[in-house]
Amino acid sequence: MAVGNVIETVAYCQFGEQQGLNVRHWRVTVQTSPTLPLGTIANALHTRLAGLYGGVMSTQAEFLGIAVRPVGAGFVGQPVESNLGPLTGSISGDPLPRQVAGLIRWRTNLPGRSGRGRSYIPFAAETGNSTGIGPTAGYLANLDDLADGWFQPLVIIVTGGTDELLPTLVRRVPFSDALITNYAVVPGWATQRRRSTFGRPNTGGFSGVSEG
């Protein structure tokens, strides 16, 4: 990896036979170390995000870990996974339907749809649902913490130097990326139908389908 390179990171969550995947990208902006190990990046992001995912997920769901791989124009590298173990969600009560998701919107300085992105955060529970039609204030606060965890620079300290990665939004055809400048937590529930109870089972482990 070198300055300007882009990596793809995938957070894996599981509830029964359904996975919830959140795919985000990072651009290397500083590299003073001789190498930037993908496993180190995966474990650093796992450490940062595991508890934050726990705060927005049902006690019947698990955060499994992070997979990291380099990507570019016409190029996708092999994924490397974190090895720190799963973490169970902490929201009590009956789980909400598995297609129900918290929603984070990402923004860059690019105009129009090409400058925007979304993350559908999986597997909330009734305690995070208000008596109206949306999430509770507590759930939204935890969702904001998770969004900030994805948004803040990722600083990796390894032997020989310090590296920094910034969150970026990728467009694949033609391949390009733009740094994320801000985010917004949506005060309502979204739907990700691929996670539906009646959808196709998705238990493929860490590597596989990119969902968003």
pLDDT tens track for 91-145: 999 999 999 999 999 999 999 888 999 999 999 999 999 987 899 999 999 999 9
- Average pLDDT of the segment spanning 200-208: 54
Structure-block tokens of residue 93: 């009560």
Under the banding of pLDDT at 50, 70 and 90, the label for residue 209 is very low
Within a domain: residue 201?
no
Label residue 73 exposed, middle or buried (CB < 10 Å: 0-12, 13-18, 19+): exposed
Contact 76, 99 (CB under 8 A): no
DSSP code, position 28: E
Within a domain: residue 167?
yes
pTM exceeds cut of 0.75 = yes
Within a domain: residue 207?
no
Cα–Cα distance for residue pair 134/121, rounded to 1 Å: 14
pLDDT at 185 over 90: yes
Within a domain: residue 191?
yes
Within a domain: residue 190?
yes
Q: Which residues lie closer than 8 Å to 173 by C-beta, 6 or more apart?
A: none
- Compute the 3-state secondary structure of the chain and give helix, strand, coil in percent, each to the nearest 5: 20, 45, 35
Within a domain: residue 162?
yes
Residue-wise pLDDT for 49-80, tens only, equals 999 999 999 999 999 999 999 999 888 899 99
Question: Would you state the pLDDT for residue 189?
Answer: 96
Within a domain: residue 210?
no
- Average pLDDT of the segment spanning 12-22: 92
State which residues form the domain around 173. 6-195
Within a domain: residue 203?
no
Cα–Cα distance for residue pair 212/207, rounded to 1 Å: 14
Cα–Cα distance for residue pair 167/39, rounded to 1 Å: 18
Q: Which residues lie closer than 8 Å to 170 by C-beta, 6 or more apart?
A: 6, 8, 25, 71, 176, 177
Q: For the chain, what is the domain count?
A: 1
